């Protein structure tokens, strides 16, 4: 019988959430953990498979430990956030999609564990420039993965990036699209050839070409196969 991935993951998260509430001395809401947008099927499948494979595991209250984070010793003892603690505690929805996407890159798309690196968000107000990095075996950055909550947010990301990339170098303070400007800044600085934006049930990929002052964007339906991107 096929596993019902989404309800299995929902049960798993409800248990983790109840544990967190107990640890931080907060009552569990009567309605339990609210998951919005709902867990998508493939997202749930790859989150649970990643858990089975040991790519990540529950760590200190509300966080996940992962071997896909930058190794300790690089000034990085970070963990992946799964819940916000401040009352009322709640789910960090993008965190689920981020771990599921890392697992999918390895288990479905054929990238090696050593090529997939999770980035962490420092706090709620910051949107990081990248949520996952995919490198070639030689360590060259190939793909910047950005995680969003919904297909509508992906659309806005592409529109905003188009504007930032067309304009050329500018500061966040001077940008009309501050929400997504950090993704532009990350790309301008690190020059990944692909940006893959992922939401629980949608994704879009951009091929980026770096010109003297601006960046040209070519939309692709999804991230091309590893064999096309990682030629070395």
Q: Which residues bind Zn ion (CB under 5 A)?
A: 164, 175, 181
Edge-to-edge strand list for the sheet holding 63-66? 56-58, 63-66, 80-81
For the chain, helix (H) and strand (E) counts, in that order, are 6, 11
Nearest approach in angstroms of CB 87 to Zn ion is 34
Name the minimum Å distance from CB 25 to Zn ion. Answer: 42
CB of 162 to Zn ion, least distance (A): 10
Residue nearest to Zn ion (CB): 175
- Give residues with Cβ within 8 angstroms of 96, minimum separation 6: 9, 13, 39, 43, 47, 82, 200
Least distance CB 54 / Zn ion (angstroms): 39
Instruction: Return the C-alpha torsion angle 176, 182, 185, 190, nearest 10.
Output: -160
Nearer to Zn ion, 121 or 181 (CB): 181
Please, which residue, 33 or 164, has the CB nearer to Zn ion?
164
3-class state of residue 74 by DSSP: coil
- Which CB atom, from 142 or from 146, has the smaller least distance to Zn ion? 146
Tell me whether residue 74 or residue 173 sits nearer to Zn ion (CB atom). Answer: 173
Answer for the pair 193, 135: CB distance below 8 angstroms, yes or no: no
């Amino acid at each position: 019988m096929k596993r019902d991935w989404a309800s299995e993951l929902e049960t798993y998260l409800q248990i983790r959430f109840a544990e967190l509430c107990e640890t931080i001395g907060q009552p569990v809401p009567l309605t339990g953990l609210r998951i919005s947008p709902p867990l998508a099927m493939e997202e749930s499948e790859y989150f649970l498979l990643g858990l089975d494979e040991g790519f990540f595991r529950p760590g200190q209250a509300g966080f996940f430990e992962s071997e896909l984070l930058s190794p300790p010793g690089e000034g990085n003892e970070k963990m992946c956030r799964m819940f916000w603690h401040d009352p009322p505690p709640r789910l960090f929805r993008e965190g689920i999609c981020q771990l599921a996407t890392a697992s999918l890159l390895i288990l479905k798309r054929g990238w090696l564990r050593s090529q997939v690196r999770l980035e962490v968000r420092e706090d709620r107000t910051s949107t990081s420039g990248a949520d996952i990095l995919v490198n070639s075996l030689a360590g060259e950055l190939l793909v910047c993965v950005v995680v969003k909550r919904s297909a509508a947010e992906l659309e806005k990301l592409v529109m905003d990036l188009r504007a930032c990339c067309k304009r050329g170098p500018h500061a966040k303070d001077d940008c009309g699209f501050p929400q997504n400007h950090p993704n532009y800044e990350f790309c301008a600085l690190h020059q990944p050839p692909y940006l893959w934006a992922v939401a629980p049930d949608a994704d879009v990929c951009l091929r980026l070409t770096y010109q003297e002052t601006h960046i040209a964007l070519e939309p692709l339906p999804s991230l091309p196969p590893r064999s096309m991107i990682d030629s070395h």
